[in-house]
Amino acid sequence: MLQHLLAGFAALLTLIAAGISIRAPAWPTALSMPEPAPACIGHSVLDIKPLREAKGFAHAASAVFLRDGRLRAVWYEGSNELKSDVRIWTATFDGTRWSGARPVLGPDETTAGTGYYVQKLGNSIIFRDQNGELVIVFAGIGSIGGWDGVSLKITRSLDEGESWLPPQSLTTTAIFNFGTNVRGPAVPAAGNFTLIPTYHSFVLHFPEVVLLDNRDRVVGKRRIGVAFRGIQPFITVLNEHRAIAFMRVNEGFTLEAKTDDAGWSWTEPVQTTSPNQDTPVVVARIGDDLFMISSYYDSSMDRWSLIFAISTDEGQSWRTIYARQYGIGDFPKYPWLTVGTDGLFHLLFTVVQSDGNSKLMHGRISRDWIAEHGGPACP
């Protein structure tokens, strides 16, 4: 008798769970269009300066424009990556100079906020969600493992980044929530959803997209594709349904995969003509063309360069328009590109130096400069 009663009870609860599961949010059918590329401003600008020279390791900057026109950057900084003194830092740029940098989050605050022990922090991305609030999604590592054991945390600010609410944990994987990391910018989607380009780094590597609702809940996840084991996808939106993901690979060429249904399904990743030596890329639309910034290592000269390139065929082939070479031992990497209210592209990236310390750099680039160097002409 007890056996039948329990079976009936379990079936009833499963039925209710099935009802909840059926009514769970569906994947969004459309992406929000990105900000248009800046117009030409009448003069050429390429201005690259340090924004932070850390006594240690500052890395993986991302940025968002504030309502008052300032640029707010966040990054992680500590004595080195995967150290327990790494914290998430922030600073703002008012159009002429950067404010002093200050830490906003550390492992203790993250442990207190999530209720999960967090020992180390890592990559972070900042974006404005569709409620208009600033959000940081960042990597946290518990008591074991390096990047393999990473999981995502989320925090939001109601005052343009001056203060941050206690972080929450995001559950994204089946095995101990291990292995989801973040780098590329978030993509807003219809229905108050946000796509977070992520990558899996536990045992096997591959790029993914995590779907967040406006209550910071993970409500979906799609694998971009396991071919070539790409990571750190950067998603460029072409229109409300179509987007391209560009991925870093260990050695070879930058990968691309396309979606026609707002990220639900992706074409198999294929190699582009852009060399990739284990560094992420950023890509922005300029009209019908694409503008990529990546890193390139010239082994014959033992030097890294920051490469600016243009594609006219939706990312399959790339033509270099500019290479900014760095000195021996300096390694420019982890670019982040955003369009400012001042009509310029703002580029952030890290230069890792031979002594292990790093500098965060800030570049301002006008559309005119890109046109002068063989990019799409000014309209």
Partner 1 sequence: MPINAVEVFGPTLLVAALAGNLVRSKPQSVRILASTCGAAVTNLPVGPATAATFFLGTVGPVSAATLVFAAGYLCAAIMKQQYRASRALLVSLIITGAVFYPLTFGLSNFDPYDLGYRGLTVPALMFAFVLVGWTARAIDIQLWIALAALLYMIGAYDSNNLWDYLIFPTDPIWAAGALAIDLQRGRARRQSTKLPPCQRAG
Q: Which residues bind partner 1 (CB under 8 A)?
A: 2-4, 6-7, 9-11, 13-18, 20-22, 24-26, 107-108, 111-119, 142-144, 166, 168-171, 173-177, 200, 202-206, 208, 217-223, 225-226, 268
Least gap, CB of 360 to partner 1 (angstroms):
28
Least gap, CB of 187 to partner 1 (angstroms):
18
Least gap, CB of 78 to partner 1 (angstroms):
17
Residues in the chain: 379
Least gap, CB of 204 to partner 1 (angstroms):
4
- Cβ within 8 Å of residue 45, ≥6 positions away: 344, 364, 365, 366, 368, 369
Identify whether the C-beta of residue 79 lies closer than 8 Å to the C-beta of residue 57: yes
Q: Which is nearer to partner 1, 116 or 331 (CB)?
A: 116
Give CA–CA dist 319/374, Å, rounded: 9
Q: Which is nearer to partner 1, 177 or 294 (CB)?
A: 177
E strand or H helix that includes residue 46 = strand 46-53
Q: Taking Cα atoms as reference points, which of 12, 53, 80 lies closest to residue 360? A: 53
Q: Which is nearer to partner 1, 111 or 353 (CB)?
A: 111
Q: Alpha helix (H) ranges present in 23-77?
A: none
Q: Which is nearer to partner 1, 118 or 321 (CB)?
A: 118
Instruction: Give, as one character, the DSSP assignment of residue 98.
Output: B
Q: Which is nearer to partner 1, 54 or 137 (CB)?
A: 137
Least gap, CB of 211 to partner 1 (angstroms):
8
Q: Which is nearer to partner 1, 32 or 267 (CB)?
A: 267
Least gap, CB of 173 to partner 1 (angstroms):
7
CA–centroid distance for 370 within its chain? 23
Instruction: Classify 22 as helix, strand or coil.
Output: helix
Identify whether the C-beta of residue 49 lies closer than 8 Å to the C-beta of residue 18: no
